[in-house]
Chains A and B, each alone.
Chain A
């Protein structure tokens, strides 16, 4: 099977914990809802930031895992501000590899990868308390404050539109590419396919290593059954 990769549109997110969390939750849950093909009781969640309602599987395990990863990501962003980052949600199949490069290793066959591209930027003027504003010149004056508020709302509006685009992007991808999805395993639970969420690691180079490792783990097409 090929590994289908979907690069989602880049989102300009402000350096606001709440904003990052909301956006990531929305995207991750939406993707997982399309991929957790076990019996689900869908749960509608209204975003607080925007007028967007997304759907969760209603599974606590998934929710917990997603929140954990988001918190890790936020800590990473704190250490690496003003950077473009990627979160990868991968679905794989577990194959017991008997012989190959990594013998006696449980091989993961990734059949789908979603890349969530975020550009976490420092907000202009005085906004979040977390941002490092050493370079921001706080100009006293109502006009400046007003313009910053306008900028903020414009930025939010742009983010909402982008988020909608991303959600539709997910929907289209799910619709167009169905053949690569493995058969639904006959197992209990909501989660049909194992998945993992990868956040950027401490060093940039390591990220590349992760990708390389994944490529190796994917295995040779001939090895696939």
Chain B
């Protein structure tokens, strides 16, 4: 009987620890000597592996239990108290794990999100802040009766087999019960989950423990197994447990995989030459990096960089645009630093920094509103270099090019007037193209937006979309793109963030002379190139059209179209791409622009638009025939 009781202690300890100690336990089975069970109930027919078959419960070896049972092997009169402790800190965690220490404070959610930054801090913090909580206390006790007479007397009545049978039953129910308490869930999660958890379970086996405080006891529930009477006493098994440990385990642990950043465009720091158009994208502002439409992400601008040398002539149109535009737009003027400005750091391409970006890329004509030609006006050749600089500076060609275009613009402006008719036709075409894109204007900070809108609007009509989609086609036809860029520059110049529609309107006439090209000779050359670019853009019009059509539909459209028209002669693909993103903004800004336009009536604008369309068609036909 003594043996039964002793083994009972061992077995119950094994059952408890086997289901409460993760990482250790029956999983690591290492053969154990078979313990012969009492004859009455032994059925060691199983010859598979030596296991502890006491109580007909063949369990694997549990080192934790074996280590702790010695005391009770000697004397089974002491109670055995097994405390299951929940430790809330990553005891065994990898130092480089991302899981933040989850303290009882539980305010680490932020840190979880940025594990990279706080990992080291967390570790130290966690080590100091571990919190242990006893979630279960199992008490196994053999209460012996004091009277020895009673003991001897009753020993006859209770046979060992009966005692054994009852202890078997008790241990079976213990085995089942252990798996029904909340702590089992924690153990199960720890053992089965591959995720790193901010908690772990440990245990403590002792014969004497501090009793719980009253409050602690109140929080716990008690479950008592029916004692098994023996001849000399009774075996008691009970447990105090917390019924609400689920809140601990239910907290999501830090996933091992880092969070995926959607719409990741790339850090500006990674590629300094990359410029993210600071177009306000509704909803995308939340992303760390400026996320723009796929158009923006295309590397057409990188192609532009390669061709920086060429677009010299194509910038000629821009001056024409820029000049009137500059004179008209005060706010825009501030935004456009001299073309010789150094490239704006890409980091500043955040949306709220659009203005400075714009300033960088849309120099002089706007900044020097009174004399747009003067301020940005290095000689035409210089603009070329500026253009290349701009291109190099910025990934988005539309943005970079305008700089050079602006630079060119003054010179170009001079050249433009001589050929108004031809240019007007072309420019009107492009203008009309761009005009459709010019849906937004007026908001100071939305030069890019305007350009975007420009692009979008350009997509609305085939010719416009041509300009917008030209970004894709950019690598194919750089010549055209150069001029397209030039036009874009003009457009951007004109669509100065602060510029009002009036300025655009005034830019319209500029569009006419604003043939792609710088000087007179450049004008002709650039005109062809511009036409070619225009044709290309129109042909490769992307589905921007649809986007734009929405935005255009939203806006009143016509006046804006007109204002944008001249600047839209050849839309740079990059500009288009930029414009793709803020469709909504374009729409809104276009609405604003339309509101601002007061000088022209709708009818007039429509007529003009029609004219531009005709011009465009004409140019297209010409372009297809002419060498591109």
A is bound by B: yes
Whether, in the assembled complex, B179 has its beta carbon less than 8 Å from a beta carbon of chain A, the answer is yes
Please tell me which one of the listed residues B57, B177, B226 contacts residue A42 in the complex, with CB atoms under 8 A apart: B57
Which of B39-47, B76-84, B380-388, B522-530 binds A? B39-47
Which residues of B from 178 to 220 have beta carbons under 8 Å from A?
Answer: 179-180, 184-185, 188
Chain B interface size range: 20 to 34
Whether, in the assembled complex, B576 has its beta carbon less than 8 Å from a beta carbon of chain A, the answer is no
Residue of A whose beta carbon sits closest to that of B166: A178
Whether, in the assembled complex, B127 has its beta carbon less than 8 Å from a beta carbon of chain A, the answer is no
Bound CA span A46–B58, Å: 20
Bound CA span A30–B176, Å: 8
Which residues of chain B are near A39, meaning CB under 8 Å?
A: 42-46, 53, 56-58
Bound CA span A52–B181, Å: 9
Whether, in the assembled complex, A53 has its beta carbon less than 8 Å from a beta carbon of chain B, the answer is yes
Minimum C-beta distance from B92 to chain A (A):
23
Please tell me which one of the listed residues B40, B53, B176 contacts residue A184 in the complex, with CB atoms under 8 A apart: B40
Whether, in the assembled complex, A183 has its beta carbon less than 8 Å from a beta carbon of chain B, the answer is yes
Contact A187 B172, beta carbon cutoff 8 Å? no
Whether, in the assembled complex, A41 has its beta carbon less than 8 Å from a beta carbon of chain B, the answer is yes
Which residues of chain A are near B175, meaning CB under 8 Å?
A: 33, 42, 55
Whether, in the assembled complex, A149 has its beta carbon less than 8 Å from a beta carbon of chain B, the answer is no
Which residues of chain A are near B166, meaning CB under 8 Å?
A: 178
Residue of A whose beta carbon sits closest to that of B53: A39
Contact A175 B170, beta carbon cutoff 8 Å? yes
Which residues of chain A are near B40, meaning CB under 8 Å?
A: 184, 186
What mask results when residues 158 to 182 of chain A are scored 1 for a CB within 8 Å of chain B, else 0? 0000001001101100111010010
Whether, in the assembled complex, B93 has its beta carbon less than 8 Å from a beta carbon of chain A, the answer is no
Which residues of B from 42 to 62 have beta carbons under 8 Å from A?
Answer: 42-46, 51, 53, 56-59
Whether, in the assembled complex, A51 has its beta carbon less than 8 Å from a beta carbon of chain B, the answer is yes
Contact B176 A37, beta carbon cutoff 8 Å? no
Across chains A and B, the number of contacting residue pairs, with CB separation under 8 Å, is 90
Whether, in the assembled complex, A48 has its beta carbon less than 8 Å from a beta carbon of chain B, the answer is no
Bound CA span A202–B51, Å: 46
How many A residues, CB 8 Å from partner? 32
Whether, in the assembled complex, B168 has its beta carbon less than 8 Å from a beta carbon of chain A, the answer is yes
* Given A37-B168, A174-B169, A183-B162, residue A167 in contact with residue B180 (CB < 8 A): yes
Which residues of chain B are near A181, meaning CB under 8 Å?
A: 165, 169
* Given A54-B179, A184-B161, residue A171 in contact with residue B173 (CB < 8 A): yes
Residue of B whose beta carbon sits closest to that of A38: B43
Bound CA span A95–B188, Å: 45
Bound CA span A34–B175, Å: 10
Contact A40 B57, beta carbon cutoff 8 Å? yes
Whether, in the assembled complex, B225 has its beta carbon less than 8 Å from a beta carbon of chain A, the answer is yes
Bound CA span A38–B46, Å: 11
Whether, in the assembled complex, A188 has its beta carbon less than 8 Å from a beta carbon of chain B, the answer is yes
Whether, in the assembled complex, A44 has its beta carbon less than 8 Å from a beta carbon of chain B, the answer is yes
Please tell me which one of the listed residues B41, B43, B53, B172 contacts residue A174 in the complex, with CB atoms under 8 A apart: B172
Please tell me which one of the listed residues B57, B165, B179 contacts residue A44 in the complex, with CB atoms under 8 A apart: B179
Bound CA span A176–B180, Å: 19
Bound CA span A168–B169, Å: 15
Bound CA span A221–B585, Å: 92
Residue of A whose beta carbon sits closest to that of B170: A175
Which residues of chain B are near A52, meaning CB under 8 Å?
A: 180
Minimum C-beta distance from A136 to chain B (A):
34
**Cβ contacts A to B, 11 pairs, < 8 Å:** A34-B173, A40-B57, A41-B46, A41-B58, A42-B175, A167-B180, A175-B169, A178-B165, A178-B166, A181-B169, A189-B43
Residue numbers of A with Cβ under 8 A of B are 30, 33-34, 37-42, 44, 46, 51-55, 164, 167-168, 170-171, 174-176, 178, 181, 183-184, 186-189
User: A39-B57, A40-B58 provided; 18 other pairs, C-beta below 8 A?
Assistant: A33-B172, A33-B175, A39-B56, A39-B58, A168-B180, A171-B176, A174-B172, A175-B169, A175-B170, A178-B169, A178-B228, A181-B165, A181-B169, A183-B161, A184-B40, A184-B161, A184-B165, A187-B43
